[in-house]
Chain A
C-alpha cells in the first residue's frame, strides 16, 4: 500500500483504456488490446495501480466449473483513482496540448 504511481506513457495508455470504459470493469486482456501493451508491461502497471489504490479488481462471478475455463479478472478505477487519473490527463493535456500518448 501507499505505493507511488509512476505516470509513464504506458501508464497513461492503461488509464486511458480504463477511463474510456468507466464505470464498467474490463479484463486484463481487453485493457491490453485497448492500450496495445504486451503482458510484460501491462501487468506490472495494473498491479502497481491496484496497490496504490487507483484500481480495484474482482473475479468473474461464475465459477471456473460453470464456465469451463479459468475465470477472468476485471479491473475498475476506484473513485480516488478516477479523479487522480482525470487530473493527470488534464495536466498532461495542458502542457502538451494534445493526446500525445495516443500517437503511435
Chain B
C-alpha cells in the first residue's frame, strides 16, 4: 500500500516537472532562436544584414516544431560564418593559390615519407597476382565538374565457396587477406596523393562525385 502510494506520488511529481519544463522550453524557444539569429546576422557584412534578417525570419516561421526552429537558427550561425568570409574575401579564408601550394608541399613530403611503404605494397600486390594491375583507375568528377582518373591500390579479391543450406556451392567474391588489410588501414587510398599533386584533388575538400 505504502509502496503504491509512493509510486503515485513520484509519478505525479514527474508529470508536473515534465509539464513545467515543457512549458518553460516552449516559452524560451523564441528567445533562443532570436538570440541565435541575431548572432548570425551580426556576423554578416553590413550590406547583407537587412536582407537575411527578414529572409531568415520568414523561413523560420515555416519550420515546424520548436526543436526544428532551434536547429534552423543554429544552422544560420554556421551559414553566416561561411557567407561572411565568402563576401569579404571573395572566397573561403584560404585563398586558392595558398591552398594549392599547401597541397603540393604536403603531398610531395608525404609521398617521400611513404615511398618505402608504397614500394612494399606494390611488390606484395604483384606477388599476390602477377598478371593483375597494381593501381585501379576510376573516373570521378572533381572541382567544377572536371573529369579525372582517381588512383587507388587495387584490392585483390578471392573467390570463396559458400555452401548453401541445400548443399549447393555458391561462389562469392571476397577481399583477399592483403586486400582486406589495405582496405582496413585505408592504405589503398595512398595513390590519391598523386591526384593531389596533379591538382585533381585537394587534401581538404568535398568528396568526389561518384564516390560511395
Whose C-beta in chain B lies nearest to the C-beta of A94? B147
The answer, yes or no, to whether A4 is at the interface (CB within 8 Å) is: yes
Per-residue B-contact encoding for A74-104, CB less than 8 Å = 1, 0 else: 0000000000000010011001100011000
Q: A47 near B83 (CB under 8 angstroms)? A: yes
* B interface size (C-beta, 8 A): 37
How far apart sit A100 and B212, CA to CA, in the bound complex (Å)? 10
Q: Which of A8, A42, A47, A88 contacts B206 (CB 8 A)?
A: A8
Closest to B147 in A: A95
Complex CA distance for A2 and B86, rounded to whole angstroms:
12
Stretch binding the partner chain, chosen from B24-32, B51-59, B154-162, B189-197: B51-59
Nearest chain A residue, comparing its CB with the CB of B206: A8
Q: Mark A38-72, 1 if CB is under 8 A from B, else 0.
A: 11111110011001000000010000100001111
The winner among A27, A69, A70, A72 for most chain B CB atoms within 10 A is A70
14 contacts between A and B (CB under 8 A): A2-B90, A6-B144, A27-B59, A28-B59, A38-B71, A42-B75, A43-B56, A64-B54, A70-B54, A70-B55, A70-B57, A73-B58, A92-B141, A95-B139
Interface residues in chain B, defined as those with a beta carbon under 8 Å from any beta carbon in chain A: 51-52, 54-59, 61-63, 71-79, 82-83, 86-87, 90-91, 139-141, 143-145, 147, 206-207, 209-210
List residues of A whose CB falls within 8 A of some B CB: 2-9, 12, 27-29, 32, 38-44, 47-48, 51, 59, 64, 69-73, 88, 91-92, 95-96, 100-101
